Amino acid sequence: MAGILAWFWNERFWLPHNVTWADLKNTDEATFPQAEDLYLACPLAFCIFIIRLVFERFVARPCAMGLKIQANGPQKAQPNAILEKVFTAITKHPDEKRLEGLSKQLDWDVRTIQRWFRQRRNQEKPSTLARFCESIVTVFIFLQTPWLWNTKECWYNYPYQPLTVDIHYYYILELSFYLSLLFSQFTDIRRKDFLIMFLHHVATISLITFSYVNNMARVGTLVMCLHDAADVLIEAAKMANYAKCQILCNLLFAMFAILFISSRLGLYPVWILNTTLFESWEIVGPYPSWWIFNLLLILLQLLHSFWSYLIVKTACRAISKGKVGKWNPLHVSKDDRSDIESSSDEDDSPPPIQKHHSSATNGTNKNHATNGYLTGAPYTDEH
């Protein structure tokens, strides 16, 4: 075990040339980052997760109810034993061949079966009330560090820069926050970019850890502040959307889009990547953990580009639809990160009348026609 720890904490990987861990031990004159400081983040992350659950139940939920946000979820699919068996045991997204087979077996048309599967998938999604509560608890207060606008200050006398108390606690809180997000991602609404968000959280946690251990805390603080700035606006826009405050939603989304794209496609590469890649190269020089740190920063830039594409795509689609209707960039069924699946335009029309049989075969009963299909109530879209 000692050999593994010695290999992991190899000074030639973590620190610049001719710098040792002994050089970064705390003294009476100066305090430096210590790896064991980060252990505090694990129990704190658990506390944040519990506080979030309590806040969501006793604060966010009453606020949502006060705004008359609906607690009911998406429309439930009509009970059907055969389709339920296919959904739970075989596939939630049947292909064309399976749809045709089910159509013959149930004497339903293919579009009705597609609608059933879509409603059944959406049935497992939480209500608008739950989504509102999720958004309100993810607003996080971030710390400003105006003394670091000159990025070269990040590297003067590196790595012998004393760790200030505010940066120390900021790092612990940020690491705890992202650890709690990593945990809660498996209990929150599962969105289309689940894997991308998971990758983002892992990269962020790795960056926070790397930058703290090798005392890149100053530039690390800049990265975290830059990322926190836009997050508040998008969550506020979602809350306004769920509360049906459309004008406020549009305004907040526009502010978010401008801030996100300008900060993560402008400031981030020009300001952050420039100092970590080029200014630090000139002042400090590269070493193994320096390469890992910058690779993670570049990975974040790729994620920024992907999300900026989705934001622009969402805005363009909302504007184009606004020509004939209400401009709603964060409509639940139109958002690229939506937790509710949307139907195609052609599904907006009512389904054709089905052929019904009087026999009670394949799991029918007195109140239903074939396989539990309610003859008197056609399926409606989940919008």
Q: Where are the domains of the chain?
A: 17-63+126-333, 75-121
pTM for the model stands at: 0.65
pLDDT at 1: 72
Q: 232 with 164: CB under 8 angstroms?
A: no
**Closest C-alpha to 371, from 103, 77, 79, 75:** 79
How confident is the model over 25-44, as a mean pLDDT? Answer: 91
The answer on pLDDT for 20 being more than 80 is yes
Exposure b/e, 2-26, CB count within 10 A at least 16 = b: eeeeeeeeebeebbbeebeeeebee
**Closest C-alpha to 332, from 256, 242, 260:** 242
61 to 137, 150, 181, 232, 246: CA distances (angstroms): 10, 43, 20, 19, 20
Average per-residue pLDDT for the chain: 75
**Closest C-alpha to 147, from 169, 164, 172:** 164
Q: 318 with 327: CB under 8 angstroms?
A: yes
Q: 382 with 122: CB under 8 angstroms?
A: yes
Please state the CATH superfamily assignment of the domain spanning residues 75-121 in this structure: Homeodomain-like (1.10.10.60)
| Sign of the CA dihedral running 219, 222, 227, 232 | positive
Separation between Cα atoms, residue 130 and residue 57, nearest integer Å: 10
Separation between Cα atoms, residue 322 and residue 156, nearest integer Å: 52
Q: 264 with 311: CB under 8 angstroms?
A: no
The answer on pLDDT for 317 being more than 80 is yes
Separation between Cα atoms, residue 85 and residue 305, nearest integer Å: 41
Copy the structure tokens of residue 243.
Answer: 């509360």
pLDDT at 268: 93
How confident is the model over 232-258, as a mean pLDDT? Answer: 84
pLDDT confidence tier of residue 124, bands split at 50, 70 and 90:
low
pLDDT at 119: 79
**Closest C-alpha to 15, from 288, 329, 218, 249:** 288
**Half-sphere CA count of 59, side-chain side, radius 13 A:** 10
Q: 275 with 219: CB under 8 angstroms?
A: yes
> E strands, the chain, where?
none
Lowest mean pLDDT segment, chosen from 29-38, 45-54, 178-187, 188-197: 188-197
Copy the structure tokens of residue 103.
Answer: 């159509």
Cα Rg for the chain, rounded, in angstroms? 26
Lowest mean pLDDT segment, chosen from 96-100, 150-154, 205-209: 150-154
pLDDT tens digits, one per residue of 89-119: 888 888 888 888 888 888 888 888 888 888 7
Cis check for the bond before 146: say yes or no (omega within 30 of 0).
no
The answer on pLDDT for 129 being more than 80 is no
Q: 42 with 100: CB under 8 angstroms?
A: no
The answer on pLDDT for 348 being more than 70 is no
Q: 318 with 290: CB under 8 angstroms?
A: no
